[in-house]
């Protein structure tokens, strides 16, 4: 097994765009746009190191692709958290696995106020999304930050707490065919509730106009009086939003005292495997919660939804699931920098199917209500519908799923993912999973090259779901070998071309492809 500690080093900026060298083929002429990625990039200070991979201060990079040529640049996100950490050599906002230290710029009164309702980080190092004319970076708090897509400069901060009263937020936002953008948020001060947040189309085409119209579509009460579920994403079909409340519980008392007690966010979480996951289904049009109680038969942990769609009065919910949140503690930086990564519960695609209320007349107790898939069950016992999924592939060991976005919220067949440094057959691989048959296809070069989350780009005029390319950024941990952008045929994962750069491509989280015609 190769030493992969190089994946977790602090990176450098490359503000002036450089030309990549296209080798092993040609970039398709129709592929025109920007492949932009975001994630943790700065971990080390003079005498201090961040604790967790998620804690690194954000770096954003992009490959501009035009007329078969590729340019590359990267910049640090100029968040308040980053600026203060650079000035003090310590984080002054609480991060995922690293506690906050005193901000020397705050007076005593300000420090007292922030212990009542703590200031949350704006280190937006997790995900990117577009809304109207803007590109935004997001993390799991109420702060999002606009990025100039042309030069990656950091622009204004948007405070969702001031707009809609949330403190935590899913870094994943989704847009429907009508231009409405949705996310999920949580407030510390509303007694344990989750809020479905809706951003309508701006009308003017200006993101700042639409953001001012943000509103709460509906509230979902927590199952626990003094805690809320940790969540990272949610599902959305054409008609419904699906929120999975999982038994990794954020203790609200610990959260509110996070700065007084000197805790990280991870230290406010507790895993309760005696609990099972609760699926809450919300009608997007009315905001009403579907009055059926769905529960998984066994507990599981989820970061990412793959896709959600409706078929024959049933709701298919596909996720990347693990039997526990052990992955969270596997990502502490000390372990990763020692190439010590041994998750006890590997991630795999799983399909749940939820019967919808139109089936009410046929919901007989102790009978499988699923008709779409003989390997998936939903059985009603009293007032609860108990869900048992099936695995979508024969082997686990992959994460960061993506699909053809034209099939988002609709019936689909394929998803793409990466094995990264997970042990098992998908290590160092990009993979394609057929959700109907379980068949997998992979691309892998060697044990030293680590591809990141791919993005699917559909070929203009495509009819087939997998007619397009996959873009993924590959980091080679050998110092004498270049990192590169990889372009794969999405049908069979054969290599079309690569674009090599002589600077470091950091191992980050999520990304987006923005077409020149978008």
DSSP code string of 354-410? EE-GGGGGG--BTSB---S-TT-EEEEETTEEEEE-EESSSS---EEEE--GGGTTS
List beta partners, residue 37.
61, 511
Asked whether 356 and 310 are in contact (CB, 8 A), the reply is yes
223's tokens: 């199952």
- The one-character DSSP state at 5 is G
Supply the CATH number for residue 422's domain: 2.130.10.10
Q: pLDDT tens, 192-204? A: 899 999 999 999 9
C-alpha 511/C-alpha 518 separation (Å) is 16
Task: Report residue 504's pLDDT band, with 50, 70 and 90 as the boundaries.
Answer: very high
- The reply to whether the predicted model has a pTM over 0.85 is yes
Q: In whole numbers, what is the pLDDT of the chain averaged over residues?
A: 94
Q: pLDDT tens, 85-112? A: 999 999 999 999 999 987 666 544 444 4
Task: Report residue 117's pLDDT band, with 50, 70 and 90 as the boundaries.
Answer: low
| Total of domains in the chain | 1
Taking 50 as the threshold, does the pLDDT of residue 513 lie above it?
A: yes
C-alpha 252/C-alpha 99 separation (Å) is 16
Q: Which residue has the tokens 């927590």?
A: 222
Asked whether 266 and 285 are in contact (CB, 8 A), the reply is no
Taking 90 as the threshold, does the pLDDT of residue 490 lie above it?
A: yes
Q: Compute how many other C-beta atoms are within 10 angstroms of the C-beta atom of residue 48.
A: 14
- The one-character DSSP state at 272 is -
Residue 112: left (phi > 0), alpha (psi -120 to 50), or beta?
A: alpha
Map residue 246 onto helix, strand or coil: coil
Q: What residues make up the domain containing 301? A: 5-515
Asked whether 109 and 66 are in contact (CB, 8 A), the reply is no
Pairing mode of beta strands 384-388, 293-296: parallel
**CA angle, 36 then 92 then 8, to 5°:** 45
User: What pLDDT is stored for residue 106 in this prediction?
Assistant: 58
Q: What is the H or E stretch that residue 304 is in?
A: strand 301-311
List beta partners, residue 22.
499
């Amino acid at each position: 097994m190769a030493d992969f500690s190089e994946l977790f080093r602090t990176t450098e900026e490359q503000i002036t765009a450089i030309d990549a060298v296209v080798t092993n083929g040609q970039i398709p002429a129709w592929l025109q746009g920007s492949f932009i990625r975001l994630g943790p990039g700065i971990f080390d200070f003079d005498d201090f190191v961040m604790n967790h991979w998620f804690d690194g201060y954000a770096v954003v990079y992009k490959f501009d692709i035009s007329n078969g040529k590729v340019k590359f640049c990267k910049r640090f996100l100029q968040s308040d958290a980053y600026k203060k950490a650079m000035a003090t050599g310590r984080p002054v906002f609480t991060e995922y696995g690293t506690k906050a230290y005193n901000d020397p710029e705050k007076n005593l009164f300000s420090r007292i106020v922030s212990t009542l309702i703590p200031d949350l980080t704006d280190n937006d190092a997790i995900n990117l999304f577009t809304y109207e004319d803007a590109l935004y970076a997001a993390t799991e708090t109420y702060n999002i930050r606009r990025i100039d897509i042309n030069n990656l400069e950091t622009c204004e901060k948007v405070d969702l707490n001031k707009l809609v009263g949330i403190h935590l937020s899913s870094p994943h936002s989704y847009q429907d065919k009508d231009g409405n953008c949705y996310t999920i948020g949580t407030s510390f001060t509303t007694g344990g509730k989750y809020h479905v947040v809706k951003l309508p189309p701006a009308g003017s085409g200006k993101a700042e106009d639409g953001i001012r119209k943000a509103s709460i579509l509906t509230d979902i009460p927590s199952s626990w009086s003094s805690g809320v579920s940790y969540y990272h994403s949610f599902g959305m079909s054409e008609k419904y939003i699906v929120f999975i409340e999982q038994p990794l519980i954020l203790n609200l008392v610990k959260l509110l005292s996070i700065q007084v007690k000197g805790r990280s966010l991870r230290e406010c979480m507790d895993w309760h495997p005696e609990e099972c996951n609760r699926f809450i289904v919300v009608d997007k049009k009315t905001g009403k919660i579907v009055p059926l109680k769905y529960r998984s038969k066994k507990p599981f942990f989820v970061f990412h939804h793959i896709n959600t769609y409706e078929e024959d009065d049933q709701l298919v919910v596909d996720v990347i699931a693990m039997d526990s949140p052990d992955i969270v503690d596997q990502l502490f930086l000390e372990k990763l920098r020692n190439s010590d990564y041994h998750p006890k519960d590997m991630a795999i695609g799983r399909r749940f199917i939820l019967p919808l209320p139109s089936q009410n007349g046929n919901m007989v107790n102790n009978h499988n209500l699923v008709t779409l898939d003989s390997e998936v069950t939903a059985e009603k016992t009293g007032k609860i519908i108990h869900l048992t999924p099936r695995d979508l592939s024969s082997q686990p060991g992959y994460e960061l799923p993506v699909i053809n976005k034209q099939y988002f919220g609709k019936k689909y067949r394929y998803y793409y993912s990466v094995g990264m440094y997970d042990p098992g057959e998908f290590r160092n691989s990009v993979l394609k999973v057929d959700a109907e048959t379980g068949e997998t296809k992979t691309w892998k070069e060697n044990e030293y090259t680590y591809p990141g989350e791919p993005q699917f780009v559909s070929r203009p005029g495509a009819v087939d779901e997998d007619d397009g390319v996959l873009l993924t950024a590959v980091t080679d941990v050998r110092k004498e070998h270049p990192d590169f952008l990889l372009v794969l045929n999405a049908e069979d994962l054969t290599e079309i071309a690569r674009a090599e750069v002589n600077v470091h491509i950091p191992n980050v989280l999520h990304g987006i492809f923005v077409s020149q015609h978008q």
